[in-house]
Amino acid sequence: MYALEICGLAKTFKGKKMRTVEALKGLNLCVEPGEVLGFLGPNGAGKSTTIKCLMGLLRPTRGSATIQGRDISSAEARRSVGYLPENPAFYDYLNAEEYLLFVGRAFGMAPELLAQRTEEMLKLLELWEHRKRLIRTYSKGMVQRVGLAQVLLHDPDIYILDEPMSGLDPIGRALVKEIILDLKKRGKCVFFSTHITDDVEKICDRVAVINKGQLLVVDSVQNILQQGTEGYTVTVVAGDGRREEVFVTTDRLQSFIRDAAGESRSIEKIEPRRKDMEAFFLEIVAR
Ligand SMILES: Nc1ncnc2c1ncn2[C@@H]1O[C@H](COP(=O)(O)OP(=O)(O)OP(=O)(O)O)[C@@H](O)[C@H]1O
């Protein structure tokens, strides 16, 4: 059973003067348990619209989605999801601790477990010292950390995160990557939107590229990076000990190795030279 299954999801907005915007044009996507899937797309591609439809904040024009086989609108399905909105805004007259307690109670967590998890999450997200301060005095990055803490609090199986690294400094970003990798290790499913290709390359199993409301590619990160092999950087050592780095295209590699052996030059290292995720993303969107 899929952790998350999206079937034919479409959303058309009616703007001023009856102008219509087709934000999503029939999206189909499945995410496995234990998988980290990056939902990658440029500004205005339809990432937030997809996530808002999944979370019931927007009513899709067509299509449906299920969480562990249950319709996403059901209470059961919602209980197994942790959701981080883009630009989270909380009850800012509460402090971080009060807010987490409020969220935990809404999920029906037992008081002892809730107190323990609240402390753990505040410490994990480095908010413990600031827990008694009103959220409205927090910086943007701190608010984002409260958002992440409330996502993790009830230890759901599925995480739907709208740009989880947004507004965070490099330390915060590294922490979020670590948290996502830890979730994966624990068999959780993480679906997160981003327009940062490096995040996808570092932490995702698969990537789904969306542009203008349509999925362009869904593939494993490993496949994409392997397909992008342009050739090899070969380190060759000559008889007199001189070292040289030579770029060799894939089709010439075998003959290069043969020739080097014939000329008594030894090969020290062969490293693939690859296009990175950013090059792939720019190419696919431009196409
Ligand atoms: N409430 C709305 N009314 C009209 N058009 C909308 C509305 N919300 C989104 N759109 C349009 O739908 C399209 C998709 O927007 P969406 O916010 O889903 O993109 P996104 O991929 O999340 O972008 P970003 O990376 O900038 O957050 C855009 O053309 C946007 O202008």
218 lies in the same domain as 234: no
Helices then strands, each counted (H, E), the chain: 10, 13
In whole angstroms, give the CA distance from residue 93 to residue 100.
13
251 lies in the same domain as 155: no
Crossing angle between the packed helical segments 96-106 and 140-152, to the nearest 10 degrees: 30
20 lies in the same domain as 141: yes
149 lies in the same domain as 260: no
User: Interior CA angle at 286 toward 282 and 287, to 5°?
Assistant: 120
Residue with CA at minimum distance from ligand 1 atom 31: 44
Diameter of the chain measured on Cα atoms: 78
In whole angstroms, give the CA distance from residue 129 to residue 8.
46
Residue with CA at minimum distance from ligand 1 atom 25: 43
Interface ipTM: 0.97
158 lies in the same domain as 24: yes
98 lies in the same domain as 181: yes
Of 252, 287, 251, 253, residue with least CA distance to 270: 253
Q: What is the pLDDT of residues 74-109, one digit of tens each?
A: 888 899 999 999 888 888 889 999 999 999 999 999
End-of-domain residue from the set 210, 225, 240: 225
Distance 49 CA to ligand 1 centre (A): 6
109 lies in the same domain as 128: yes
Q: What pLDDT is stored for residue 260 in this prediction?
A: 87
Q: What pLDDT is stored for residue 227 in this prediction?
A: 78
- Which CATH number characterizes residue 172's domain? 3.40.50.300
**Tally of domains within the chain:** 2
Residues having CB closer than 6 A to ligand 1 are 13, 15, 21, 23, 41, 43-49, 195
Q: For residue 84, list its beta bridge partners.
A: 161
Ligand 1 atom nearest to CA at 210: 21
67 lies in the same domain as 112: yes
Residue with CA at minimum distance from ligand 1 atom 28: 44
Q: What is the pLDDT of residues 163-202, one digit of tens each?
A: 999 888 999 999 999 999 999 999 999 999 998 888 898 8
Q: What pLDDT is stored for residue 18 in this prediction?
A: 78
Strand ranges of the sheet holding 20-31, from the earlier edge strand across to the other edge: 20-31, 4-14, 62-67, 70-71
Q: Tell me which residue range forms the domain holding 237.
A: 230-286
196 lies in the same domain as 219: yes
Distance 45 CA to ligand 1 centre (A): 7
User: With pLDDT > 70 as the criterion, what percentage of the chain qualifies?
Assistant: 100
pTM of the full structure: 0.86
Confidence of residue 69 (pLDDT cuts 50, 70, 90): very high
71 lies in the same domain as 178: yes
End-of-domain residue from the set 172, 200, 225: 225
114 lies in the same domain as 31: yes
Q: What pLDDT is stored for residue 279 in this prediction?
A: 81
Confidence of residue 281 (pLDDT cuts 50, 70, 90): confident
Of 44, 71, 75, residue with least CA distance to 60: 71
182 lies in the same domain as 71: yes
